[in-house]
Amino acid sequence: MSDKSNQQISNLMDGELEFNASKFLLKRMAADESLSKTWENYHLIKSCLQKKPHEPLVVDIASKVSQKLQGQNITVGKIEPKLNRWLKPVLGVGIAASVAFLSVFMLQNQQVNTPTATILANNAVPNPIIKPMIQPSLASAGKTFVPPPSLSRYPSLSTKNNYSSNQVLSQSMGMPYLIIINQKAKQHNLSPMKIKDLSD
């Protein structure tokens, strides 16, 4: 058995062993000390015969290297394929872009569907602070629009929402809507909570 294995090792070294038998033998050698010793000795003989006269004979490097590696405690892991390495950041950028696109799209949708600013414009009390900011032509063009409940996810909130604006208003004003409410509240000496009553 051992003789047969040794002959197989000899054939394997010279690339003369059948493929499947070679694979099997390589695994056995990694597990069997006596077989790996034979492999080492056969290679040592090869080295002695092949080395040039000025070259030194290099012996027993394997055990020392193995000792060093065990001291380092390194685990060799396969590196991910190159594609995966590139794919990760590209996917990240893709996701970020799609999130940005979705948020812009949703914002535009919301602006079209929420008319509270038009309602405000119709019921507006002349206000010296707001007046220069709203273009009267655009404000008067606004029509009262009550959204069907199905368009809004929270109809109870959207009909009473004083913080949303319509498209016309948002185009004509670069000012945050909250400030306008505060100005209105100031003028009528109302707390922000009572604005709803004012617009009604």
Partner 1 sequence: MKKTQEKSKDMSDKAIDSALVKQAQNGDIKAFELLVQRYQQKVGGVVSKLIKDYHEIQDVTQDVFVKVYNSLAKFRGDSAFYTWIYRIAINTAKNYLVAKSRRIQNSDIEPIEAENYAGAFENQNFDTPDAEYERQEIEQVVHASISELPDDLKQAITLREVEGMSYEEIAQAMDCPIGTVRSRIFRARDAVENALKPLRKKEYKRANYVR
Residue 169 CA to residue 134 CA, distance in Å, equals: 7
Q: Which stretch binds partner 1 (CB under 8 A): 37-45, 112-120, 132-140, 162-170?
A: 37-45
34 binds partner 1 (CB under 8 A): no
110 binds partner 1 (CB under 8 A): no
29 binds partner 1 (CB under 8 A): yes
Residue 171 CA to residue 54 CA, distance in Å, equals: 87
* DSSP-derived 3-state class of residue 104: helix
Element (H, E) at 101: helix 82-113
Question: CA triplet 53, 66, 49: central angle to 5 degrees?
Answer: 20
Question: Of 19, 83, 128, 153, which lies in the binding site for partner 1, with binding defined by CB under 8 A?
Answer: 19
15 binds partner 1 (CB under 8 A): yes
78 binds partner 1 (CB under 8 A): yes
161 Cβ contact partners less than 8 Å away, ≥ 6 residues apart: 114, 116
Count of residues interacting with partner 1 (CB under 8 A): 60
Cβ–Cβ < 8 Å for 184, 198 = yes
Question: Of 1, 5, 16, 104, which lies in the binding site for partner 1, with binding defined by CB under 8 A?
Answer: 16
Question: Of 1, 5, 27, 164, which lies in the binding site for partner 1, with binding defined by CB under 8 A?
Answer: 27
Sign of the C-alpha dihedral computed for residues 98, 102, 108 and 111 taken in this order: negative
Question: Of 34, 63, 122, 171, which lies in the binding site for partner 1, with binding defined by CB under 8 A?
Answer: 63
76 binds partner 1 (CB under 8 A): yes
DSSP notation for 31-96 = H-HHHHHHHHHHHHHHHHHHS-TTSPP--SHHHHHHHHHHHHT----PPPPHHHHHHHHHHHHHHH
Nearer to partner 1, 23 or 143 (CB): 23
196 Cβ contact partners less than 8 Å away, ≥ 6 residues apart: 160, 162
36 binds partner 1 (CB under 8 A): yes
Q: Which residues, numbered 79-108, are part of the site for partner 1 (CB under 8 A)?
A: 79
CB of 61 to partner 1, least distance (A): 4
List of residues contacting partner 1 (CB under 8 A): 3, 6-7, 10-12, 14-19, 22-23, 26-27, 29-31, 36-52, 54-70, 72, 74-79
